[in-house]
Amino acid sequence: MKRLTLLVLALVALVSCQNPKAPKEELTYIVQVSLGSWDAPEYAAEAVLERLDSVTAKIPVGKVIIGWSKDKEIYREVGAQLHEKGIDMLLWLPVFAETEAVCDNAPSVDIWGHAPEHFDLKEGEGFRFNCPSDPENAQRIVALYDSLFADCGFDGVFLDRIRTQSFVGGISGVLSCGCPLCEARFAEESVDLGAIREAYAAEKGRLLSVSGYTPETGFVFENPLAADFFAAKGRIVSGAVAAIADSLRSRGLQVGMDLYAPFMAPFVGQDYAILSAHADFIKPMLYRMTNAPAGMGFEYAMLKSALPEADGYPDFPMDVAFLDGQLKAMEPYACGKFPGIEINYREGIAPTTPSYIRESLDAIRRHHFPGAVLSWNIMEVPEEHIQAL
């Protein structure tokens, strides 16, 4: 009898050893194709089609985000093939930056009336921001869709650059936009930019000191002036984005949104509650290895260097526990949630590895999100990174 019990125990141990966890939840992927800026696309349609063919044969792809060249033909060709496979095609459309070549938009200024510094990642990616409150800026972006892209077969639009400058432009980047139009908008939100200027003159970066951080609360500002400023900024910037999104959705288009990670979003005017109510899906950029704007560690280092006097900002190692916190912060919102993980490789800018990608996707599965956005250019993804999916 004892021998039988031991045998049963051994069998149970063997079975549980061979099946240590439930089968992996399958994620649906959204893929990004960066064609470069408005000029002729950096890739020929054949190259894009070949790449997408190869990728969609290996992993389940639900949508492809592609842009933002003005060349209509590439979208028509790519769209026809994607639609045959039941895959949606979304236009990658920058809203408050990168529009200088195609629209005459009013630029953003800081609360002192100066243009914040920008960040030239490469030609056509200069991160120079426009005023979020100017209704003509918003109208021009929607008109751009209508005039250039409405007849290209898009199922939706993926809105990028829906924010102000970040700490990449120092304190000036986040204390923006402060143009007369925005100053009036802040006043409507009961925030006096004159009081912010005075407080900053007296306190410098201490104005943005925080008493703590949790994924549920975000950073908690010690000074109510700072708390009120960033809450109002969220309503102003995100309210403007919501109106643009609604206008595009009224054309029958899906809307996806490119967002800063939850912990940094309030600084750039992204209010997740407002934005998620006007989006079909959101893509928080949870990039832990990107040394460029939107990279989480990169942006946080910029915050720390812009606010040497501020208290309360902890060190955040860009480990999987930190990623878990950001995923947790996304949970309350009702729209589709597809975290963005960078899987392209760029030396010095995005030094990603297969194990980094696997670790990030496992975290997304643990939070039961439906999928992920594979960022930010499938054309630059090494084959072993696709295998890692």
Residues forming the site for Zn ion (CB under 5 A): 131, 133, 177, 179, 181-182
Nearer to Zn ion, 49 or 181 (CB): 181
287: nearest Cα among 194, 349, 370 = 349
Position 218: which residue type? Answer: G
Residue 179 CB, shortest distance to Zn ion, in Å, is 3
Nearer to Zn ion, 181 or 320 (CB): 181
Question: What is d(CA 327, CA 195) in angstroms, rounded to the nearest whole number?
Answer: 35
Strand partners, 67: 34
- Is the separation of the CB atoms in 201 and 210 below 8 Å? no
Dihedral angle sign, alpha carbons of residues 68, 127, 326, 315: positive
Question: What is d(CA 36, CA 32) in angstroms, rounded to the nearest whole number?
Answer: 12
64: nearest Cα among 21, 31, 42 = 31
Residue 185 CB, shortest distance to Zn ion, in Å, is 8
Nearer to Zn ion, 32 or 164 (CB): 164
How many residues are recorded in the chain? 389
Residue 176 CB, shortest distance to Zn ion, in Å, is 8
Q: At what angle do helices 224-249 and 193-203 cross, to 10 degrees?
A: 130
Query: Can you list the positions of beta strands (E) in 280-344?
Result: 281-285, 336-337, 340-342
DSSP 79-105: HHHHHHTT-EEEEEEESSBS-TTT--P
Nearer to Zn ion, 55 or 177 (CB): 177
Residue 281 CB, shortest distance to Zn ion, in Å, is 28
Nearer to Zn ion, 104 or 123 (CB): 104
Residue 134 CB, shortest distance to Zn ion, in Å, is 6
Question: What is d(CA 61, CA 57) in angstroms, rounded to the nearest whole number?
Answer: 9
Position 362: which residue type? Answer: D
Nearer to Zn ion, 82 or 182 (CB): 182
Which two three-digit tokens encode residue 158?
């993926």
Nearer to Zn ion, 182 or 259 (CB): 182
| 332, 357, 295, 289 alpha-carbon torsion, rounded to 10° | 140
Residue 144 CB, shortest distance to Zn ion, in Å, is 19
Nearer to Zn ion, 74 or 174 (CB): 174
Question: What is d(CA 382, CA 354) in angstroms, rounded to the nearest whole number?
Answer: 9
Residue 319 CB, shortest distance to Zn ion, in Å, is 37
Nearer to Zn ion, 179 or 323 (CB): 179
Residue 121 CB, shortest distance to Zn ion, in Å, is 23
Residue 276 CB, shortest distance to Zn ion, in Å, is 24
Which residue has 């790449």 as its token pair?
51
